[in-house]
Amino acid sequence: MTLQGMVLQAAALYSDQIAVCFDGCNKQEPVYYTYKSMVNFASELSSFLQSKCKFEEIRQIGLYCYPGINLPSWILGILQVPAAYAPVDPDIPPELSTYFMKKCNLKYILVEKNHIDATPTLVRRFGSQLIKSSILSATTSLRVLALGGEAFPPLSVLRSWKQEGNTTQIFNLYGVTEVSSWATCYRIPEEDLSCTLGVESPVHLGFPLLGTIVEVRDANGLTVQEGEGQVFLGGKKRVCFLDDEITVPFGTMRATGDFVTVKGEAMFFLGRRDSQIKRHGKRINIECIQQVAEGICQVESCAVIWYHQERLILFVVTKDDLVKDGILGELQKHLPGYAVPDDIVVIEALPFTSHGKIDMSKLTKIYFNYINLKSNGTLKGKEELWERLQYLWKSSLRLLEDPLEVSKDSLFLSNGGDSLKSIWLSNEIETLVGRSIPGLLEVILSCSILDIYNHILQAVFPDEDTLLNRNYCTKRKFSEMNRGEISAKYIDQKSGRPVNSGKEQNAFIALSRGNQILFVNVSESLKNSLSMGQTGTQLGKNPSISSDLISSEETIFVQNVTSKSPLTVSRKMNGTEEISSMSAISEDETSVRASEKIKFCVRWKSNTGKCVDASPLIAVLLLSQSSATVYIGSHSHRIQAIDLYSGKVKWEQILGDRIESSACLSPCGNFIIVGCYNGLIYVLRNNDGKIHWIFATKDTVKSSATMDPSTGLIYVGSHDHHAYALDIYKEICVWKSHCEGTVFSSPCISLAPHHLYIATLKGLLLALNPATGSRVWTHSCGKPLFSSPQCNLQYVSIGCVDGNLYCFNHMGQLVWQVSTNGPVFSSPCISDSVRQEIFCGSHDRCIYCYNTEGHFQWKFQATASIYATPFTFYNHNLSSDMLLAAASTDGNLWILDAKRGQLQTVYKLPGEVFSSPVVWQSMLVVGCRDDYVYCLDLLTVAEK
């Protein structure tokens, strides 16, 4: 009897009993289907497929969906056609999906509708290709059937297809005439299906035979109850004999080489030990890479190894004299970045074992000898170094087809490079020269290719003449500055005239990325009142908060703010009944999700001249409700002070180079401190932007300064491998501490215990004594730390390029670590609620939530990588629960329910976003790479 026959037989006997239960593990109640409901849905789908699908010899349909309550009905509906179903994982890259569909010769594929809008799934991936295509004929081979409620693509997209003369067939189920039907069928040109990589889907392994014991063990030999591991087989009276063995003790457990995922009592097959690897946070089947390489016409045979679990190496036997450049170029066209091999080795023939299998151990030896030869003898001088560097540069940026020589002034980040690619390039260069090169990653990120070349040259050929001085990068930056700006006043770090640091001080709330809230000159009574009032932003207790006394007028402020809704207050502050800019907001500037209860609309935007990667600092003057200022810098060398409510630029100051550092408010509230690419740290007057003092480090400053409320010192890191403690009133450097690596991220101050946490691109997390700069403890994470550390009373947490989120206690002991599926550049955000959740973004396009004990709470799938730091806030006009603001690099701004991770609204900015959002009342401020700083109002639908 067939599977579908068995299901129908069970349905006839138990029609009203529960057949399917689905628990989304999102703290919502599980949902159920009876046999009757499941079979009815399946039959309706079968009828639809039979009427619309014209099969030839092979009857099979792809199924592109996530697990859910409808999945059994969909599978059953396909089987009843009858047809076979081919599962396609929505989380894999589009290249994998297209190769799988072509390999299976699929003519039809069912795509789940509910996930089309939330994730970049198959149809959306094909959408841009489809719109650009000039031919959409009836001879094409793939039809997409969309399962679910609303039709897609949007009607605007359908209109654009028709304007290009294309034909789009829309099929309705149940005789419904509206466009919002069960299924919509699109034809996609076969030429848009590029052959790239195969795909694998987990397969349920069922249960062991009687008397057989199955265990899953991790790399340390410990039993795995939940998660991934290798399968071991054995039994009390069953044994497995290998090779020439004659006797084996009962109870012996044998490693099978099969890797699985354990979920509850079920096991799902992932692949063989020698074919499954995890690289850059992504699981890869190296056999699939081999299949792609074999598809290159000049490749006769090939093999892939995971060398020392660090490097992905492709061995190729060619049919002619095909050069490695051509092979790598072809692979880059068809493989996702994380699957492209690190190196290609051309050999005469593949080695085989006596059993006829490829000898992986011999390939490992071949590569070992290859890299030794390459490092010891093949790099003959600086001319060849320049040529090889150009090749690696083009490889990392996918520019191999460009025949021109790379310009000596080319900058890695400006040519499409990013942090992940810079790590790849750094590793390749060190492999090329056969040694570690200190500071290489930092030079790649901040200097030109000529600077990189000189840096390598000094390390590898110290006796060779360089084209420029060793410190060319730093010296060039300083030489371009206005010499009148550089004086002994700040270079010699001499004491200067103290400013008024104690009298006539104003009270501020300073808000910066990651939910960091600092009270400046605010009394404890006012802070407690604000905390209880939750005035638009969650102002909970934080170990880094301190205050001085202010006047009794604070009571009036608390009554005014906490008694009014954020939107009402903002209208009063503008002096009008309505926000005038809102009437000019077009419908295109608001989110188009009709089901949402919250909407974004642009309140104002400010042009900075170049892209804005810095995150905003919002300083709210407490005793003057009309005064709140946004401070933010740009790659245009400008830093702006913008009125939060009106968007009017109060002042603008042009500094000596690009600004990526976020501003910091001084202890007195009269100054802001910001770092610059030219290695200078500027102290500016907050009322007019004029320079008060400048301190010079020896290299680029991307680190954002941090203020110590207990001492008033300003801490900041530099690419010169040092952290600095500055007294801006005495205009001196109190101490500087060598950190053994570039300090890219921002320091974090803890008051109990009094520690300063510093992270470096060398992978070190350091705890320093804030008074002296001496080390308290150090932990090496092994991979670069672009993320900034964040702390609460118990723990300090940080994300790492290795894909992990680490949590330490204040004594330096690792309390827990959790793994995401990609490098973590986002800094953690620790909420100030009682439970104190930790939120963090990842390169895998997800936002994660853990409690402070490291227990997973939820994750949300965005549409692109998350580099920015999330921000938690309260606004009772919008929701009674805590909300979370986050940004993905594709420009999408997300508002989630922070407790459950459910989407509340999303808004698309017109450029990439690496800036972190900051929220005050109902206003979200963020920088964008379209050169603008945006302030968006968060409104309820009724308010719109």
Residue 382 is predicted with a pLDDT of 79
Mean pLDDT along residues 777-799: 92
| 678 three-class SS | coil
Sorted by sequence, the CB contacts under 8 Å of residue 54 that are 6+ apart come out as none
Residue 378 is predicted with a pLDDT of 57
| 618 three-class SS | strand
Residue of 899 and 622 predicted with greater confidence: 899
C-alpha–C-alpha distance, residues 301 and 349, integer Å:
8
pLDDT in tens, 693-713: 999 998 889 999 999 988 999
Q: Encoding tokens for residue 849?
A: 């939530």
Residue 127 is predicted with a pLDDT of 33
Backbone angles phi, psi at 922, to 5 degrees: -110, 25
Residue of 877 and 767 predicted with greater confidence: 767
Residue 69 is predicted with a pLDDT of 87
Residue 755 is predicted with a pLDDT of 95
Residue 844 is predicted with a pLDDT of 84
| 212 three-class SS | coil
| 901 three-class SS | coil
Residue whose C-alpha is closest to residue 823's, from 846, 839, 807: 846
| 341 three-class SS | coil
Q: Encoding tokens for residue 729?
A: 């009133």
C-alpha–C-alpha distance, residues 427 and 305, integer Å:
17
Residue 616 is predicted with a pLDDT of 97
Residue of 58 and 644 predicted with greater confidence: 644
Angle at 614 between CA 608 and CA 620, to 5 degrees: 85
Residue of 37 and 272 predicted with greater confidence: 37
pTM: 0.57
pLDDT band, residue 773 (cuts 50/70/90) = very high
Buried b (16+ CB within 10 A) or exposed e, 779-803: bebebbbbbbbbbbeebbbbbbbbb
Residue 560, pLDDT > 60, answer: no
C-alpha–C-alpha distance, residues 664 and 332, integer Å:
42
Backbone angles phi, psi at 360, to 5 degrees: -65, -35
Which residue type occupies 671? F
Q: Do residues 609 and 634 make contact, with C-beta atoms less than 8 angstroms apart? A: yes
pLDDT in tens, 378-430: 566 778 888 888 888 887 887 766 778 888 988 887 787 877 788 778 878 88
Other Cβ atoms within 10 Å of 362 Cβ, number: 13
Sorted by sequence, the CB contacts under 8 Å of residue 843 that are 6+ apart come out as 280, 281, 420, 803, 820, 822, 823, 824, 825, 865, 866
Mean pLDDT along residues 727-733: 95
Mean pLDDT along residues 64-76: 85
Backbone angles phi, psi at 358, to 5 degrees: -65, 130
Mean pLDDT is highest, among 64-68, 464-468, 820-824, for 820-824
Which residue type occupies 216? V
C-alpha–C-alpha distance, residues 943 and 919, integer Å:
19
The number of angstroms, rounded, from the C-alpha of 789 to the middle of its chain's C-alpha atoms is 17
Residue 400 is predicted with a pLDDT of 67
pLDDT in tens, 912-938: 899 999 999 889 999 999 999 999 999
**Which single residue is written with the structure tokens 């540069």?**
393
Mean pLDDT along residues 318-336: 74
C-alpha–C-alpha distance, residues 343 and 348, integer Å:
17
Residue 475, pLDDT > 80, answer: no
Residue whose C-alpha is closest to residue 919's, from 558, 509, 587: 509
Residue 795 is predicted with a pLDDT of 92
Residue 758, pLDDT > 50, answer: yes
Residue 641, pLDDT > 90, answer: yes
Residue 639, pLDDT > 80, answer: yes
Mean pLDDT is highest, among 10-19, 91-100, 254-263, 496-505, for 10-19
Residue of 483 and 686 predicted with greater confidence: 686
Residue 321, pLDDT > 70, answer: no
Rg of the chain taking only CA atoms, in angstroms: 30
Mean pLDDT along residues 253-278: 76
Is residue 224 classed exposed, middle or buried when 0-12, 13-18 and 19+ CB atoms within 10 A define those classes? middle
Residue 4 is predicted with a pLDDT of 86
Mean pLDDT along residues 291-306: 86
Residue 529 is predicted with a pLDDT of 53
Q: What percentage of the chain reaches a pLDDT higher than 90?
A: 30
Sorted by sequence, the CB contacts under 8 Å of residue 63 that are 6+ apart come out as 74, 75, 78, 85, 86, 87, 88, 109, 110
The CA–CA distances, whole Å, from 150 to 3, 147, 155, 183, 419 equal 31, 9, 11, 9, 39
| 445 three-class SS | helix
pLDDT in tens, 185-241: 333 333 332 222 374 445 566 666 667 888 898 877 888 888 888 888 887 777 776
The mean of the pLDDT values for the chain is: 75
Residue 872 is predicted with a pLDDT of 92
C-alpha–C-alpha distance, residues 871 and 887, integer Å:
10
pLDDT in tens, 163-192: 434 333 333 332 322 222 223 333 333 333
C-alpha–C-alpha distance, residues 450 and 281, integer Å:
32
pLDDT band, residue 774 (cuts 50/70/90) = very high
Residue 48, pLDDT > 60, answer: yes
